[in-house]
Amino acid sequence: MAEFLLEIGTEEIPDWMIEPACEHLERNFLAALEQADLHAGVTCTTHATPRRLVLVAEGVKQRQVDKDEVLTGPPKNIAFDEKGNPTKAGLGFAKRTDVEISQIEVGQDSRLFVKKRVLGRPAGDILGEVIPDVIEKIHFPKTMYWTAKTGPRFIRPIRWLLALLDGKVVPFEIAGVAAAGLTQGHRRLGSANIAVGGWSDYQQQLSENYVLLSAQQRRERIEKLANQLVPSGLRVRKNDKLLKTLGYLTEYPTPILGGFETEFLKLPEEVLETVMQHHQRYFAIEDENGKLQPRFIAVANLDGDPDGEIQRGHERVLRARFNDARFFWDVDQKRLLADRVADLDGVVFHAELGTYREKSKRTAKIVHEIGSALSLDDSTRQYARRAAELAKCDLTTEMVGEFPELQGVVGGLYAAHQNEAQETADAVYDHYLPVGPDDAVPRGLAGQLVAIADKLDTLGGFFRADMMPSGSRDPFALRRAAYGIIRILIEGKLALSIDRLCEVSGAGDKSGDLREFFVDRLRYYLRDVRGYRYDEVNAVIKASSDVPLDVALRTEAISKVRPTPDFEPLAVSFKRIENILKQAGGVNKYAKQSVDPALLAAGAEADLHAAVESLREQVSSLKQADEFVAALTAIASLRPAVDKFFDDVLVMAKDATIKNNRLTFLAHVLTEFSTIADFAEIVSG
Amino acid sequence: MQTYQDIILKLKSFWAEQGAIIQEPLDIEVGAGTMCPETFLRVLGPKPYRTVYVQPSRRPADGRYGQNPNRLYKHMQLQVILKPSPNDIIEQYMRSLEAIGIDLRRHDFKLEEDNWEAPTLGAWGIGWQVMLDGLEISQFTYFQQCGGIDLEVVPVELTYGLERLTAFLQNVDSVFDIQWNETWTYRDVRFLDEQQYSVYNFEKADVEAVRNEFEIHEAESARLITEYSGLEDPKEQARFPLLPAYDQVLKCSHLFNTLDARGAISVAERAAMIQRVRKLAVAVAGAWMTQQEVVG
């Protein structure tokens, strides 16, 4: 069993592409081994820094197992003529297989065949052939060529390749770079062209040359040293995303503490944080109460800053950035947000969907419609309306010009500063939410309203213009918009129907498509985010999908009642009822008729009827009160009576009238109790 | 202390030692060093080339009347083109920083993803912004396409923001406080330009006149391109004035920027004008490629 070590040495790979690249590398490698039948018993791990993707595999077979191979040739009557002499075809096969024609056997299917012993090849030879492809097939979101137009493509130029099988170089070449047994240390702290013997030597050499190969180790070093730097009573503001980024921007990270003038703390924390974390990739520092402090942690790709030069450099850059931000704030205050509404005439939302001025007007109108549909109080509706007018005005500010990621937030801050109502300011601030899966929905009702309306207008517009997402292409992030609306409706407990939303969306004759799009996002939310089982989601949506909040409550109820003993057996019986009715001409046919109680047989049938009648009122009022768990528990209590019915009663009675009445009765049971969920969709077991 | 001009001289001579031609700036207004024919046209085709030059780059909308410590209507870009890109280009670039006295053992040097794109030139490339102690000092780009043409040989473009770099090295907060030489500061030399061009671009430029000028240059470029495409005689093709046709494109680009800064262009018109300039740039690039084949 052999050890294989591969290091792809590149110029700096974008930090966010590194982990997916490692996954592809491992997958491609294992697939190639499997193809070559060398995969059994192999364990494989990957590591990476900005300059290297590394794979190490243990337990690689030294060579392939020898195999018997059967080569089939032409039929006997084609390989030989009538006189039994070999034809051209026969001789050809003999030549191809390198066996005398006289030695070739004929199989039971009357075709010629040759059995050959194929000797397994050494793993080193095979790896040398397949590794270039393993490397070149690593998927990156954007690739380049660097030797010539016809050359290989990769994320950044490949500058060295290390490939060792048990310490021996596996020869291959990519873009003029030949694999060898050399690695490179840290750009400034390590040596170049370091000879490597194998995996354990490699690790040793890297650590001596200031490369921490493990991303986890780099992150730990950042966290540990940063915590040591922070003065007592203060702490590093947690930011895992930034930590991950910095781990992949460095090979030997060293945190450096810096500070800035307290006067900048007068700027909004959102702006300070954005400058530090997004633009400069610094950690913010806070006190025990979470209050921002005039300090930061920068992370250098170096071993230290003995004379404080790096610290001073970062401080100067930050000061310039904060000065800019303060300048933007002051300039922006010279014109109120409210006075910028007309400027939105000059800001295009999308060539086919008009300007932001037009969008704002449509959004305000949708806010009004939804506000009425939800019968919200006047003041909330007014805050929301005002917020809808102002929401996009920050697009014309210097601050958003410089920090586009703060759109919405800046508008909210300015609105508050300019004495708009706090509810209005919050609604402007929050109206892009939720953006990411971890984002909260807007905190207030007015914000929720504006957030829904803004997204709904976007969806309606793009759907009407026939620019819906297809496959993985969703350039306008419409899935995110629809998903955001679903989340706000459910998490904000707004009982608004999808039909109503589509009606006011402006999607026009594409409303049907938009409706399906919403239901699809609703399914995604319930299944993939909330984790409900797919059949539960199907059952509930089949019963009705119109009000997402209601769908979510019903799904939750199903998942709670499902483990109780009566539930799944009852679902099985409902499925049976549905099948019987389908075969007899369809549920609807019978559901339209009424049951004649006089025709019901005494015993199981009459008992079930009585049970159903006594439950009907109860279930209906529980449903009215959104007491879905209680309603479902009540329905599940029908199980003994249903079981008894199927044990004792023959549905397809000989008497046509009785049979018809029975089917009608069953159709009523089914439809009556399938409005919370269509039990027939539940897959038991 | 190293003065502004020391830094320019040292960088030029560093790259001259790597075999680059020291070019002088193009005498037409451009928004970036990339637009100069020394880059835009030289990167096309298979012929190797190496050059270094300082290009005054004018971006009318970035003017701040000389009042902002970091923003300028006209900044100086040191532009290096190496075609094809050498394998050790990053090490060479790092040595160029050492050449101007930056000890990379004492400074934090990082390459952060930043892909460059210039829609008006039909050009883009893959690369990084170079960060020195958190300050962006250079753009580092492997060109992939120029004038809408996939490049046969990949050139690398290195641009140094000279004012920023000098402010960093001289430890001053405003570019206007940079020492140009021992006697004069950047403010002494350039403040009036910044002020007066800001006044012109934002307040005084005659929109009608600038617009007319744009159209005259556009028509002139288009006329030449059309005439060239009708030529069949290789001798005529070889001597045809495509370089002047490209000058006209650059003039259009600058005039467009002036109109934009003046607030004279509506949103819809803006996209259309960018498209008009791009069309000319792409046409010249295509014509240039065929001319190069004839010239041999």
Name the pLDDT band for B239 (thresholds 50, 70, 90).
very high
B240: domain CATH number? 1.20.58.180
Alpha carbon distance A646, A285 (integer Å): 70
Residue of A nearest to B174 (CA): A320
Name the pLDDT band for B267 (thresholds 50, 70, 90).
low
B/e letters for A351-387, b = 16+ CB within 10 Å, e = fewer, are eebebbbbbbbbbbbbbbbbbebbebeeebbebbbbb
Q: Give the mutation candidate from B133, B163, B165, B265 for the A interface (greatest A CB count, under 10 A).
A: B133
Both structure tokens of A299: 């992370």
A543 is a domain residue: no
Peptide bond preceding A563: is omega within 30 degrees of 0, i.e. cis? no
Boundary of a domain, candidates B162, B179, B200: B200
Do B192 and B212 share a domain, yes or no? no
Chain A partners within 8 Å of B111 (Cβ): 11-12, 50
Do B210 and B99 share a domain, yes or no? no
User: Who contacts A615 (Cβ-Cβ below 8 Å, separation ≥6)?
Assistant: A634, A635, A637, A638, A673
* Crossing angle of helices A445-464 and A478-491, rounded to 10°: 150
Chain A partners within 8 Å of B154 (Cβ): 144-148
Do A32 and A154 share a domain, yes or no? yes
ipTM of this predicted structure: 0.94
Give strand pairing partners of B50: B82
User: Who contacts B12 (Cβ-Cβ below 8 Å, separation ≥6)?
Assistant: B22, B52, B54, B78
A and B: number of Cβ contacts within 8 A = 102
Rounded to an integer, the average pLDDT of A155-183 is: 97
A15, A245 in Cβ contact below 8 A? yes
Say what percent of chain B tops pLDDT 70.
99
Q: What is the pLDDT of residue A438?
A: 82
B113/A15 CB distance under 8 A: yes
Do B182 and B212 share a domain, yes or no? no
Residue B144 predicted with pLDDT over 90: yes
Do A75 and A149 share a domain, yes or no? no
* Structural domain boundaries enclosing A138: 2-63+122-208
Name the pLDDT band for A545 (thresholds 50, 70, 90).
confident
A175, A151 in Cβ contact below 8 A? yes
Q: What is the pLDDT of residue A294?
A: 97
Do B55 and B97 share a domain, yes or no? yes
Own/partner long-range contacts of A317-320 (Cβ < 8 Å, ≥24 apart): A317/A280, A317/B133, A317/B134, A317/B135, A318/A258, A318/A260, A318/A275, A318/A276, A318/A280, A318/A282, A318/B134, A319/A260, A319/A261, A319/B173, A320/B69, A320/B70, A320/B173
To 5 degrees, how large is the angle CA B221–CA B225–CA B228? 140
User: Who contacts B260 (Cβ-Cβ below 8 Å, separation ≥6)?
Assistant: B60, B61, B270
B77: domain CATH number? 3.30.930.10
Tell me the pairing of strands B49-58 and B21-22: parallel
Which helix (H) or strand (E) segment holds residue B49: the answer is strand B49-58
Do A130 and A219 share a domain, yes or no? no
Boundary of a domain, candidates B200, B233, B267: B200
A187/B109 CB distance under 8 A: yes
Chain A partners within 8 Å of B85 (Cβ): 146
Do A324 and A351 share a domain, yes or no? no
Boundary of a domain, candidates A485, A512, A531: A531
Both structure tokens of A628: 């879905």
A415: domain CATH number? 1.10.3210
Name the pLDDT band for A327 (thresholds 50, 70, 90).
confident
A309, A314, A320 ranked by CB distance to B69: nearest:
A320
Among residues A102, A403, A457, A446, the alpha carbon closest in space to that of A275 is found at: A403
Model pTM above 0.90: no
Residue A219 predicted with pLDDT over 70: yes
Do A398 and A521 share a domain, yes or no? yes
Alpha carbon distance B259, B215 (integer Å): 12
Do A44 and A190 share a domain, yes or no? yes
B110, B115, B144 ranked by CB distance to A249: nearest:
B110
A347 is a domain residue: yes
Among residues B88, B79, B86, the alpha carbon closest in space to that of B40 is found at: B79
Using the 8-state DSSP alphabet, how is residue A654 labeled? S
Tell me the nearest-neighbour CA distance from B91 into chain A, angstroms: 9
A634, A619 in Cβ contact below 8 A? yes
Do A378 and A477 share a domain, yes or no? yes
A14, A188, A280 ranked by CB distance to B105: nearest:
A188
pLDDT tens figures, A620-679 = 899 888 899 999 999 999 999 999 999 999 888 899 999 999 999 999 999 888 889 998
Residue B268 predicted with pLDDT over 70: no
Among residues B141, B146, B124, B120, the alpha carbon closest in space to that of B77 is found at: B141
User: Which residues of B have a CB under 8 Å from any CB of A?
Assistant: 68-70, 84-85, 87, 90, 94, 104-113, 115, 125-126, 128, 132-135, 142, 144, 150-154, 168, 171, 173, 266-268, 271
What is the three-state SS of A146-181? CCCCCCCEECCCEEEEEEEECCEECCCEECCEEEEC
A142, A157, A317 ranked by CB distance to B135: nearest:
A317
Do A477 and A364 share a domain, yes or no? yes
Do B195 and B265 share a domain, yes or no? no
User: Who contacts B105 (Cβ-Cβ below 8 Å, separation ≥6)?
Assistant: A188, A189, A302
Do B277 and B241 share a domain, yes or no? yes
Boundary of a domain, candidates A308, A332, A356: A332
Chain A partners within 8 Å of B70 (Cβ): 320, 324
Give me the number of domains chain B comprises: 2
Do A23 and A109 share a domain, yes or no? no
Using the 8-state DSSP alphabet, how is residue A13 labeled? P
Do B39 and B136 share a domain, yes or no? yes
Do B20 and B139 share a domain, yes or no? yes
Do B72 and B213 share a domain, yes or no? no
A134 is a domain residue: yes
Alpha carbon distance A352, A466 (integer Å): 11
Q: What is the pLDDT of residue A181?
A: 97
Chain B partners within 8 Å of A148 (Cβ): 84, 152-154
Rounded to an integer, the average pLDDT of B77-95 is: 97
Boundary of a domain, candidates A332, A362, A393: A332
A682, A578 in Cβ contact below 8 A? no
Chain A partners within 8 Å of B152 (Cβ): 148-149
A446, A412 in Cβ contact below 8 A? no
Residue of A nearest to B67 (CA): A327
A548 is a domain residue: no
Alpha carbon distance A546, A453 (integer Å): 18
Do A500 and A640 share a domain, yes or no? no
Do A596 and A613 share a domain, yes or no? yes
B106, B110, B113 ranked by CB distance to A307: nearest:
B106
Helix (H, G, I), strand (E, B) or coil at A508: helix
B135, B142, B152 ranked by CB distance to A148: nearest:
B152
Rounded to an integer, the average pLDDT of A480-506 is: 95
Do B174 and B284 share a domain, yes or no? no
A21 is a domain residue: yes
A310/B107 CB distance under 8 A: yes
Tell me the nearest-neighbour CA distance from B132 into chain A, angstroms: 8
Do A241 and A129 share a domain, yes or no? no
Tell me the pairing of strands A158-165 and A177-180: parallel
Give strand pairing partners of B83: B49
Tell me the nearest-neighbour CA distance from A347 into chain B, angstroms: 7
pLDDT tens figures, A575-617 = 999 999 999 888 888 988 999 999 999 899 999 999 999 898 8
Between these two residues, A431 and A87, which has the higher pLDDT value? A431
Taking residue B52's Cβ as centre, other Cβ atoms within 10 Å add up to: 24
Boundary of a domain, candidates B142, B168, B200: B200
pLDDT tens figures, B275-289 = 999 999 999 999 999
* Structural domain boundaries enclosing B291: 206-295
B168, B34 in Cβ contact below 8 A? no
Give me the number of domains chain A comprises: 5
Do B222 and B172 share a domain, yes or no? no
Do B266 and B281 share a domain, yes or no? yes
Residue A685 predicted with pLDDT over 70: no
Tell me the pairing of strands A158-165 and B123-132: unpaired
User: Who contacts A17 (Cβ-Cβ below 8 Å, separation ≥6)?
Assistant: A140, A141, A155
Amino acid identity of residue B170, one-letter, is Q
